[in-house]
């Protein structure tokens, strides 16, 4: 089973959306996966995803039941194969605390999207509806690339 953790700042907008999109598309692709999300801050701990993230996600058929914001913790390095941040700032936090023993993948979700040069999912918290649609567009591309990667990880040359 491949275990994936999505990371943003508050764990109420971007990473819960990535979790919902990934869960649906991974199931559709027939992959054996587990997904979760967390924030580098604990500001919204215990809260459900932002109602705007839910509203925009639901329109595209994504489901957010059972999601509750939590803060990333060091134990997460031992729980997941992929820990993927929505932007560089949050990635820096993940890199700064990473133990030497971590053998998984830490990076930006959008780096899995070969069709798009955008590397960060912009924070939509203070934006209007367009911001939430943009988050979905970017995350869908990143998730599709991630699923391709999980299905067929780049093989090492066999000398
Ligand atoms: P997220 O968005 O990191 O995508 O969950 C944010 C949510 C809340 C805040 C910032 C970003 N905030 O400043 O409270």
Residues 53-71, mean pLDDT to the nearest whole number: 98
**pLDDT of residue 156 exceeding 80:** no
Please tell me the predicted confidence (pLDDT) of residue 159.
59
pLDDT in tens, 113-153: 999 999 999 999 999 999 999 999 999 999 999 999 999 86
Residue with the nearest Cα to atom 12 of ligand 1?
10
For 66-77, what is the mean pLDDT?
A: 98
Q: Which of 10, 16, 84 to mutate to test the pocket of ligand 1 (most atoms within 8 A of CB)?
A: 10
pLDDT over 80 (residue 46): yes
Give the model's confidence band at 155: pLDDT under 50 very low, under 70 low, under 90 confident, else very high.
low
- Measured from the Cα of 15, ligand 1's closest atom is 4
Which residues are catalytically annotated? 8, 14, 123
Distances (CA, A) of 76 to 16, 79, 146, 149: 16, 5, 19, 21
Locate the ligand 1 atom nearest the alpha carbon of residue 16 and give its number.
Answer: 5
Quick check: CB of 13 below 6 Å from ligand 1?
yes
Task: Output the residue whose Cα is nearest ligand 1's atom 6.
Answer: 10
């Amino acid at each position: 089973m491949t275990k994936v953790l999505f990371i943003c700042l508050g764990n109420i907008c971007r990473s819960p959306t990535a979790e919902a999109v990934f869960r649906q598309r991974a199931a559709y692709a027939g992959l054996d996966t587990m997904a979760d999300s967390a924030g580098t801050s604990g500001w919204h701990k215990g809260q459900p995803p932002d109602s705007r993230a839910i509203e925009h996600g639901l329109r595209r058929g994504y489901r957010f039941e059972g999601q509750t914001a939590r803060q990333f913790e060091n134990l997460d390095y031992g729980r997941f194969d992929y820990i993927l941040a929505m932007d560089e700032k949050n990635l820096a936090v993940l890199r700064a605390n990473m133990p030497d023993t971590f053998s998984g993948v830490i990076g930006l979700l959008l780096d899995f999207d070969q069709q798009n040069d955008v590397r960060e999912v912009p924070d939509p918290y203070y934006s209007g509806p367009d911001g939430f649609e943009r988050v979905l567009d970017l995350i869908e591309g990143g998730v599709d690339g991630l699923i391709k990667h999980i299905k067929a990880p780049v093989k090492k040359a066999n000398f």
